Amino acid sequence: MRVAQASTTLVFVPQSWHTRAMATKTKTTRSRLKIQRVVIHGIDHARAACRAAMEVKRPSITLELWSAKAAAGSLGPAWFGNIIEIVHGEFPELTITGVLDCSDAPGNALAALRHGIPCIQITARPNVVQKIKAIARQSKADVRTRRPTMPDLMDHPDPLEFLRNQFS
């Protein structure tokens, strides 16, 4: 009896390099941007975050809408992708980045990339993360490995009022 072995494609990922000029340019560009991060649990939370960001009336604000922890496995990338697509259509003047949390599940991360999610967060082993980053580069997707501290709108009964205070 013969047992077939699964083939694994190995991807070589060269280490990134930066010159001093590149590092300075990156810091200067990022320092002008005001990033507001918030955890959303549905379209109502996403809309509240966008409305609050619009009321601040700062053109340089970037709004990062993060999914709940491990949402890629429980709700799926289609759900999150549709929410981000809807708010992009309703608030075209805002710079919105949707970040789908894939936890430590590489399969969920690959499903999110296959679905076209432009930014994911994964906490898998470093060698697995490097492979996912190599795949993500093909679709120009961003892969994050840390989840920053940010407010969770599930903890606030009136998300819009909370975000108005938070963003001002």
Nearest to 65 by CA among 31, 90, 29: 90
Helix, coil or strand: residue 34: strand
Q: Whole-angstrom Cα distance, residue 100 to residue 109?
A: 9
Give residue-wise pLDDT tens across range 117-160.
Answer: 999 999 999 999 999 999 999 999 999 999 999 999 999 999 99
pLDDT of 167: 87
Mean pLDDT in each 10-residue stretch from start to end of the chain (168 residues)?
Answer: 45 43 41 82 97 80 94 95 97 95 97 96 96 96 97 96 91
Q: What is the crossing angle of helices 126-138 and 106-115, to 10°?
A: 10
pLDDT of 33: 63
Number of Cα atoms under 13 Å in the Cβ half of residue 38 = 27
pLDDT of 58: 61
**Which residue matches tokens 């809408």?**
65
Alpha helices, DSSP H, located in the chain: 20-32, 43-56, 71-74, 77-90, 106-115, 126-138, 159-167
pLDDT of 60: 73
Long-range CB pairs of 135-138 (<8 Å, 24+ gap) are 135/11, 135/110
pTM over 0.85: no
Domain ranges of the chain: 33-167
Q: Whole-angstrom Cα distance, residue 16 to residue 14?
A: 6
CATH assignment, 33-167 = 3.20.20.70
Long-range CB pairs of 23-28 (<8 Å, 24+ gap) are none
pLDDT of 18: 42
Q: Whole-angstrom Cα distance, residue 158 to residue 135?
A: 39
Q: Whole-angstrom Cα distance, residue 106 to residue 126?
A: 11
